[in-house]
Structure 1
Amino acid sequence: MLIKIEAHRYMYYFLKSKVTLFEFEEWIYDHGELEEILGEAEYFQFISRDYKNQYAYEDTEKQIRKLIDIATYEQERVVNLLISLTEGNNDEIDVMDILYDEYCNGYTFLRYIALTHVATSDEFKENVKRNKLKLKDYNKSIIKEAKRLLNFFGRNELEIAIEHEYIDRRKEEDRIEIHSINEMFNRLKLIRFVNTL
């Protein structure tokens, strides 16, 4: 049985293009319990929509945006990306690609991870992907930063408000990625230098 949070999460995935319009239509028809979850009027609007219409995607997106709290699922997604950086699943470079895009779209708290990633050559990234020891070494400071950010999310000092906008309740000295990026990069250089000795 589908529950509300799962239904809203699936709709969020549609907004993030992880679910196609065809998949969404099938899902709506396969889950009659959505009438109770969404309410009769919203459900009827979904099931009566002509999904082959040229405006079906836009109409579905607009309806979903009015229905769900996007910030909840957006924060869940960003936090999960940061967690995946700390778990060493060998997909860290791909995750950093995503986080770089998120930084460019407004999540400036990701600055250190994004700038570290973009400042690293593509050739080096490819070499690191193939060598687990190099990947582990490359990721040390990134993992540390991911954990630091996760702590702020855990204490509600960072909170996603809407897509690509966030509330920052941290103390000024904790916003180091905003006011002391050079200090962070100098630490990174020092760590890399010590690791080469």
Structure 2
Amino acid sequence: MQNVLLVENNVNSVLLEKALNKCNFDFLKMQSGSAFLTLAKECRPDLIIFNLDTPSDPLITDLHALNQDSPLPVIMFANNCCNETINKVVKAEVSVLIIDGLTGVRINSIIQVAIAKFNQRQLLKEALDEARSQLEDRKLIDRAKAILMRTQNFTEGVAYHTLRKLAMDRNITLGEMARNIIAMAELLK
């Protein structure tokens, strides 16, 4: 069973609550306000659903903070949204935004789409972080090879193989070995 934090502001959510009960979601309901961020961190829900008239700027700022600290799927139902607010909500990485369209029949499928979209976005972020890390390691490896070529008169191939052997002998990654060689060269300047 998934835990849902339902955040609303004076909107009749009887339809939403019935749909969540029907789908066997365990949910905690609260009024919209600055306390949602604290409660979200404390109760660690699997999903947050907002049922609002209009998303406020402070709420969107809190969503940015939540996404940085502990990202999770977020669904937002709003009665009104201008283009500027929609863009802000999208930048806050709300998984699904439904404007003026709350119907009980679609709630479960909306939740499933939000979770799937969130999971896919997390995979993309992890892949991007990994690619950035590999690129950074590649740059460091090239710097370390240049240091070995300059200080030891190695060819590029010999410098790379030396770097690789040193990393293997120490049971560390090539990137870590490159950082060590760069740090050592900085010390000896």
Decide which structure has greater strand share.
2
TM-score tier by shorter-chain length is under 0.3
Q: Taking structure 1 as the reference length, what is the TM-score of the superposition?
A: 0.21
Q: Taking structure 2 as the reference length, what is the TM-score of the superposition?
A: 0.22
